[in-house]
Amino acid sequence: MPELPEVETVRRGLAPAMEGAVISKAEVNRTDLRWPFPQNMAERLAGTRVLYLRRRSKYLLADLDSGETALIHLGMSGRMLVSGDPLGQFVHDHPAAQKHDHVVLYMDNGARITFNDPRRFGAMDLFATKEGDSHPLLASLGPEPLGNQFDEDYLVNALARRNTPMKSALLDQKTIAGLGNIYVCEALFRARIHPTRPARRVSKERISRLVPLIRDVLSDAISAGGSSLRDFRQADGELGYFQHSFDVYGREGDPCRTPGCRSSIRRIVQSGRSTFYCPTCQR
């Protein structure tokens, strides 16, 4: 499932084609994905101007001049692809319609935005923008790890009494919004923290050092266009490249990249998810 860097990469790719443009026509080719689409979604989208395209955790949010916000979740295999030439810089012909093109937005600048999702675990919703903080998918989310509310004091206090393993604590979306399996593994390696260590047993100093490392991992991944492991594509259809920079994720049995370390990367399962770590570097 795309994590924060992948969703942010898609947002940045879509923003030039969507922000400030009017949705001339919306095609909704089925009644649902993971959940039913909102009633009359095509009619409610058509004719609206996209004021701003933003991200909250792993969700894309398009604020419309109708006073509604469109929420998009990519799920396991969802892609938001842009075609056309809204900026007048390149010539990108619209591709032929595909079997899993479930929602298509035709923008008045000539761009076409296609939500393609073969496994149909994605989702779309429409809600009043002013009620966004109370939306069921957004209401309980923790602070953004790249935002000002996420700092050393916050994380120290959030983990002070948590007896759950560090990896599980960081994956809790109520604690930090948008972190997923890949980037928690990578951040814990950079911080030299063992993924199974109870959060409350990690010192304040080590947790404080973890905060900038989480930001660094996410920023590095965004700069590389995210990670493409199976289905993820950027908005222009290109792959992300951060998977080539993984220190631990997916590297079971490979040598640790820390200079002087002779250990190999190990894999364990925590709460049904694979965890990758170095048994020597991470304590």
Give residue for tokens 């026509």.
25
Six-digit token string for 246: 């993984």
Catalytic residue (choose from 3, 6, 8, 68):
3
Catalytic residue (choose from 2, 5, 86, 165):
2
Helix (H) or strand (E) holding 134: none
Q: Helical H runs in the chain?
A: 4-18, 41-45, 152-159, 166-171, 181-191, 204-223
Distance of alpha carbon 73 from the chain centroid: 9
Catalytic residue (choose from 19, 118, 273, 279):
273
Concerning whether 273 is annotated as a catalytic residue, the answer is yes
- In 3D, which of 238, 240, 241, 266 has the Cα closest to residue 251? 266
Catalytic residue (choose from 11, 58, 162, 190):
58
Q: What is the CA radius of gyration of the chain?
A: 20
Whole-angstrom distance, CA of residue 38 vs CA of residue 45: 11
Six-digit token string for 55: 């991200």
The DSSP output letter for 201 is: G
Whole-angstrom distance, CA of residue 257 vs CA of residue 264: 9
Whole-angstrom distance, CA of residue 41 vs CA of residue 105: 11
Concerning whether 2 is annotated as a catalytic residue, the answer is yes
Catalytic residues: 2-3, 58, 273
